[in-house]
Structure 1
Amino acid sequence: MVFTGTVLTNSRRNFLGVLLGSAALAGCGVFDSEPEPAPPPDAFQPLLDETLALAAAYDRVIVSQPALATRLTPLAEDHRAHAADLSRLIGAALVSAAPSASAPAAPADSVATLRKAELAGQKTAAAACKAAPADRAMLAGSIAACRATHAEALR
C-alpha cells in the first residue's frame, strides 16, 4: 500500500480532530465518574427545623393537657406560619408529624419547658438575623421577636 501526501495529511487532520474532540468531551464532564457534590444546606434550615420542633412541642402539650389548648394553640400556629414562610424562602418541603401524646405533666412544668424552648429559640433566631443578608434578616428578626413575645406570654 502506498500512501500519498494527501492521505497522510487528511489522516493527521482527522486524528487531531478526534483527539481535540475527545479532550473537549472529557473537559465537559461526560466521562466524569464522580457525581456533582450536593449543595450545602441552606443557612436557614436549622431555623426551620427548630421552628417545626417548637410547633411539635406545643402540640404535644396540647394533646396531653387539653385545658391548655386555648392558651397554647395560637402560639403553635405562629410557629407553623413561620415554618411555612421559612420553607418558601429556602425551597424546602415541610414535614409535619401528627402530635403524639406524651406522659401527662403538670401544667406549670409543661409551660415552663415551652418557655425555656422559646427563649433558646429566640436566641437562635436573633443570631440568624444578625448573620443573614438583608433580604432574609427581616424574617429572622420577626421570628426572634415573636419567640420573645411567646416567652413572655408563657410566664
Structure 2
Amino acid sequence: MGKRDNGRTRREAFGVAAALGTAAWTVTTVAGCGLLGDDSEPAPAPDPLQPILDEALGLVTAYDRAMATQPDLRDRLAPLRADHHAHATALAGLIGTDLPSSAPAAPAAAASAGTDAVSGLRRAEKQAHQSAVAACTKAPADRVMLVGSVAACRATHTEALHR
C-alpha cells in the first residue's frame, strides 16, 4: 500500500474516519442522556386548572379553621367544606395529581376566621367563584362541566353564607 498525496495510506484514512465517527457518536449519546447537562426536555407546564384545585384546598383549610375557632358553626359549615373537598378530589383526578398531604394556606379573604368567620368565608367564596368562572370560560370541552359545577357551587356557597 502506497502513500496518497496527503501522506497517509488508505488504511490510515479509514482508521481516522472511524475514530472520528465513533467520537461523534459517543458525544451525541452522552449529550442525549443528559451527562453533559443538555436537558432537552423542558419541564411540563402546570395544568391550567391547578389554581382552581389550590383554591379548593385553601377553602377546605379556611372552613377547617373557622369550625375550629367557632365550633357552634360546624353544622352550618361542614357541608360546604365537604363540597370543596369533593371538588379538590375531582380536580386532582382530572389533572392527574394526588392531593397534597399538608393543607395549603387559607385564602386571604378568609384569614379573619377567628373574628368573623362567616364574612371571611363569604369573601373567599366570592373570590374563588370569580376565579372558577374565568377558568370555565377558558376550559376545554372535556373539563368545562366540572369547572362550571365548581363555579356554580361556589356561587351557591356565597349566597348560603349571607344567612
- Tell me what 2:118 maps to: 111
The aligned amino acid for 1:8 is E
Structure 2 vs 1, CA of residues 71 and 144 (structure 1 numbering), >3 Å: closer, same or farther? Answer: same
In the TM superposition, 1:81-92 aligns within 5 A as: 81-92=86-97
Asked whether the 8 Å contact 2:52–2:131 carries over to 1, the reply is yes
Q: Percent identity?
A: 47
CA distance in 1 between counterparts of 2:21 and 2:140 reads: 49
Question: Residue in 1 aligned with 2:108?
Answer: none
Per-residue CA shift, 1:12-37, capped at 9, x if unaligned?
A: 44235324424643663555314444
Q: Could you tell me which amino acid in structure 1 is paired with residue 36 of structure 2? A: D
- Per the alignment, in what secondary structure is the counterpart of residue 125 of structure 2? helix
After TM superposition, the structure 1 stretch with the greater mean CA deviation from structure 2, 38-47 or 65-74, is: 38-47
Runs of 5+ consecutive residues of structure 1 not aligned to the other structure? none
Q: Which of 12, 18, 24 is residue 14 of structure 1 equivalent to?
A: 18
Contact between 1:75 and 1:150, CA under 8 Å: does it hold in 2? yes
Matched residues in 2 for 1:103 and 1:84: separation? 24
Q: Superposed, which structure 2 residues align to 1:1-155 within 5 Å?
A: 5-22=9-26, 24-25=28-29, 28-35=32-39, 36-95=41-100, 96-97=102-103, 104-105=114-115, 109-155=116-162
Q: CA deviation at 1:65?
A: 1.0
Alpha-carbon contact 1:62-1:72 (below 8 Å) kept: yes
Q: How far is the alpha carbon of 1:92 from its aligned partner?
A: 2.4
Q: TM-score, normalised by structure 1?
A: 0.81
- Relative to the length of structure 2, the TM-score reads 0.77
Distance (Å, rounded) in 2 between the aligned partners of 1:37 and 1:9:
41
- Give 3-state SS (helix, strand or coil) of 1:51's partner: helix
- The secondary structure found in structure 2 opposite 1:42 is coil
Aligned residues: 148
CA 1:91–1:103 in structure 2 vs 1: closer, same or farther (change >3 Å)? closer
What root-mean-square deviation, in Å, do the aligned CA atoms of Structure 1 and Structure 2 show?
Answer: 2.6
TM-aligned CA distance change 1:53 to 1:103, over 3 Å: closer
